[in-house]
Amino acid sequence: MILSSWNDSLHFCSWFGVTCNSGDTRVMSLSLDRQHLVGTLSPYIGNLTSLQGLGLIGNTFLGEIPQQLGNLLLLRHLNLSDNLFTGEIPLNLTRCVLLNFLLLKRNNLTGPIPPEIGTLNKLEYLQLGINNLTGELPPSLGNLSMLIEFHVAYNWLVGSIPESYGRISSLKMFVVGVNQLSGIVPESLYNLSSLNMMTLTVNQFKGDLPRDISHTLPNLQMFAISRNAFTGYIPASFCNASKLLSLNMNYNHFQGRVPDCLGNVPTLETLDAAANNLGSNSTGDFAFLKSLVNCSRFIPEGLGNLIQVAELDLTVNHFTGPIPSFLGKLANLQRVELSGNQLSGRIPSSIGNLTKLFEIDISFNELQGNLPSDIVRGQKLDLLDVSSNKLDGMVPPEIMQLATLSILLNLSRNSFTGHLPGGAWKLQSLTSLDLSHNNFTGEIPAVMGGCKSLVNLYLQSNSFTGKIPDALASLGGIEQMDLSHNSLTGRIPLPLQNIHGLKYLNLSFNDLGGEVPTGGVFSNTSTLSLAGANVMLCGGVSQLHLPKCRGTQRNNTKRSLKVKLLTIMVPSLFLSILVVGGIFFYYMSRRRSNKKKVFDDLALGKLVAVSYKDLHQATNGFSAANSIGSGGFGMVFKGVLEHTGTPVAIKVLRNGDNKVDKSLKAECKALKNVRHRNLVRLITFCSSLDYKGNNFNALVYQLMENGSLEKWLHHSDDDDHPNLSMIQRINIALDVATALHYLHELNGGGSIIHCDLKPSNVLLDADMVAHVSDFGVAKLLSSLSGSKTSSLGVRGTIGYAPPGNSMLITYHIEGDVYSYGILVLEMMSRKRPTDEMFGGGGGAGWLNLRDAVKSALPNDIYSVLDPKLYSPEDRDAAEAEDRDEIEEEEDGNHRNYCFVSVLEIGVACAEESARKRMKIDEVARKLLSVRDYFQANCINSGRARQQPSSVANPND
């Protein structure tokens, strides 16, 4: 124990974390950061009247911040960040008039920001972000003339920014993102020449930006105003912002042209102007791209790779004219997204020069002409979307030879003609293929059955002829298949009924005939469409109302006698079994006592309530020695149920909060009928009174001996807590993905949406097998609703909830996938999504964890990887190779390949657009492949000594 030195054998000035005044031995500083301390903060701390510094970062303190802290009149530094403090900010803190640092971020504080904080005229750093604060920004804070950093992001603040804040002449960081603030930003704030960071993202601010913004903010390094309602033009004066690193303005209402001179800003790393109304309906709309050719350092200088722009995202604007051919000169582009504009002309073949491209999305424009074969020259694309344009001609065979395509090939809603390319296709990794709404002719190529990873196949509204290839039944992972509105003939291949995962099949408006299968997708008329023109079909399930097939009547007559005999014999035999079984059950049940029956039911997994007395005994009176954690809903204790000897974890829910009842009901409803290896099993519950007559609610689970993933990831590097190996992290990611797939695809047809997936809700058993827990905000969706979206009265945890959920109260299964992606990236980086470096809280300039990782892929992953995962030799080997060599497994760089693969999965799951996120079953398949590869090439070679989760030693 860290506090083992706190005893009478040592003078208290020698205790760990204690610093005393050398003269009178009074305690001047108490620093106990990240020491796994649990419980409430004692009010007696107010007796340390000489205390100047108090640091308790990263513990698990609960309850309210003691008012007695106001007695510490000499206090200069107070840091209670990263705890679970609740209640309001104590008003008495304003008595500490010498305070320089007031840091309370990342807690559960509520209520308004006290206006009296404005009297602390020596305050330099005020951090109240990532709480649940409400109300308006107090104008009195404008009196803090020495303030350097103001951070209140991720709260529920409303109203406008007070004009008085423009008087804080020393202010360098102004961070108010992710609130509900509105109105026009005061002009005085734009005149704070000391500012180097202004973050206003995800609010409702409006109005125009000042034309001379770079002159009034000469030290500006980061300017982030995404997801607001700003209007007008992007000021050309940004071109003179000589220190600007990051400019994020997406999802506003800006119009006109992007200033041509932005490329003259030598320090610029990030430019994001997507989802505005940009464009002037002229051919010069893309002129600014020419200047970007001269931009350097689009990845921070510290990463050692001074390269040019890597991503170009101008989606949903009003750009017109052709795609400029000089786009091909931006040789380091990895992603081009120009969808949702009014671009015309031909696709320039110069795009083929961009050999590092992995994503092209130019959909929803007015592009014409052929699809150039040069577009795939780079051989690295995993997504190509040219849908909803006016393209024509035949599809180049080179498209079907692009083995790297894995996410999407979408050529739909164009005017492509001719037969699909023949020969061998190399799209074995592709998950979604959409060729619908074109003029394709000829037969569907049987080679399409070799696309083993396909999940979605859309060929509808073409002119395909011939039979449906039997080879399509080889698509074992297919979930949706639409072949409607063609001229297909012949029988429906019987093997299609054997595709267990097929959830939707549309064969309507063809010329099919013969007997309709009755198994698999053909057994459910709500997932099958055979309407229109298929007049020769017969048989099938009765709900299809098709005529019987010829030749079946005679067979039915022969079977009739057997059926009659069976209808007599089977009920008689069944009745006899019931009578004998009933007598036996009655006899056995009489031998059991009522008390024993409760725990027999418990052992059978039924949710039979236990008493407060039972849990009191199991936990030694809920003693501190039995406490194993805490959370927003209460404390967790370990114990042993007396009548079964079962080790359990008991979550005691906090009283006085209506969320408790909702949590109890939601968790019981979600877990009472689900059974899966990677879900924490809910054994029983208690809803009773304690010995003082107070309401008592608790949930009883199987005990997870190795605690939460949160503690394994974010323990202090100074303690002796073991670190997770790479194979353990892969196994945990695979376990969680498997659990989510089970929840989202229940056998009864419904889905359970977890809604709050994060490391603290992933628990590890004695064998390091991961179990998803805490379904207090889960939502059970019925298959009858026809929807995979849920309306909730709560939101997910900040940082893990998908974009938009912080402002709305809806959730869907793709939301769980987003949370999972963030969890995977956090596992690999040991960086929380709410880390100061994201969202405008730090100097790196990244808006979120996903952006940071994606920018590092594939060549700079060691800038974001947890250093505990690799050795200097691993990094040296990776730096000696480029991405091609990694994929070809040359020079034995196997670990680096696995690092990149897992990070790419996390990024694909955390896509901002829900429709672009990777499907969770595909995640599980890919992780299984990565694990097999790692075990074969890394563990056996001695580079990793950890074993899979089923046999791992948690102390390795």
Cα-flanking dihedrals φ and ψ of residue 642, to 5°? -60, -45
Report which of 231, 150, 242 is spatially closest to residue 189, judged by C-alpha positions: 150
| Amino acid symbol at 893 | N
651 is in an annotated binding site: yes
Whole-angstrom distance, CA of residue 468 vs CA of residue 80: 66
Nearest-Å Rg of the Cα atoms of the chain is 32
> Collapsing DSSP states into helix, strand and coil, what is residue 493?
coil
Locate 453 and state its tokens.
């990873």
> Collapsing DSSP states into helix, strand and coil, what is residue 910?
coil
Q: Find out whether 491 and 512 touch, Cβ atoms under 8 Å.
A: yes
Q: Find out whether 289 and 313 touch, Cβ atoms under 8 Å.
A: no
Whole-angstrom distance, CA of residue 886 vs CA of residue 556: 62
Q: Which of 735, 756, 765, 866 is catalytic?
A: 756
Whole-angstrom distance, CA of residue 699 vs CA of residue 679: 15
Q: What angle, 0 to 180 degrees and rounded to 10, lies between the N-to-C axes of helices 920-934 and 894-909?
A: 170
Locate 734 and state its tokens.
């695979």
Locate 46 and state its tokens.
């107010």
Locate 836 and state its tokens.
């100061």
| Amino acid symbol at 104 | L
Number of Cβ atoms within 10 Å of the Cβ of 718:
10
Whole-angstrom distance, CA of residue 731 vs CA of residue 739: 12
Q: Which residue has the tokens 């054998």?
A: 9
The stretches of 71-139 forming alpha helices (DSSP H) are none
Q: Find out whether 649 and 636 touch, Cβ atoms under 8 Å.
A: yes
CA dist list (Å): 218 to 84, 241, 247, 251, 523:
39, 6, 14, 25, 68
Q: Which residues contact 384 (CB under 8 A, 6 or more apart)?
A: 360, 375, 376, 399, 402, 405, 408, 409, 410
- Annotated active-site residue 208? The verdict is no
Measured in Å, how far apart are the chain's first and last C-alpha atoms? Answer: 21
Q: Find out whether 310 and 334 touch, Cβ atoms under 8 Å.
A: yes
Q: Which residue has the tokens 């053909």?
A: 522
Whole-angstrom distance, CA of residue 235 vs CA of residue 223: 13
Whole-angstrom distance, CA of residue 384 vs CA of residue 369: 17
Whole-angstrom distance, CA of residue 773 vs CA of residue 770: 10
Exposure of 733 by Cβ count < 10 A (0-12 exposed, 13-18 middle, 19+ buried)?
buried
**Residue 457 β-bridge partners:** 433, 481
> Collapsing DSSP states into helix, strand and coil, what is residue 317?
coil
Omega before residue 858 within 30° of 0, cis? yes
Q: Which residues contact 520 (CB under 8 A, 6 or more apart)?
A: 496, 497, 498, 499, 500, 502
Report which of 849, 638, 681 is spatially closest to residue 758, judged by C-alpha positions: 849
> Collapsing DSSP states into helix, strand and coil, what is residue 279?
strand
Q: What angle, 0 to 180 degrees and rounded to 10, lies between the N-to-C axes of helices 894-909 and 872-879?
A: 80
Cα-flanking dihedrals φ and ψ of residue 657, to 5°? -140, 125
Exposure of 523 by Cβ count < 10 A (0-12 exposed, 13-18 middle, 19+ buried)?
middle
Q: Where are the beta strands (DSSP E) in 770-891?
A: 770-772, 779-781, 789-791, 810-812
Report which of 801, 779, 782 is spatially closest to residue 792, judged by C-alpha positions: 779
Active site amino acids: 756
Q: Which residues are annotated as a binding site?
A: 651
Q: Which residues are annotated as a binding site for ATP?
A: 651
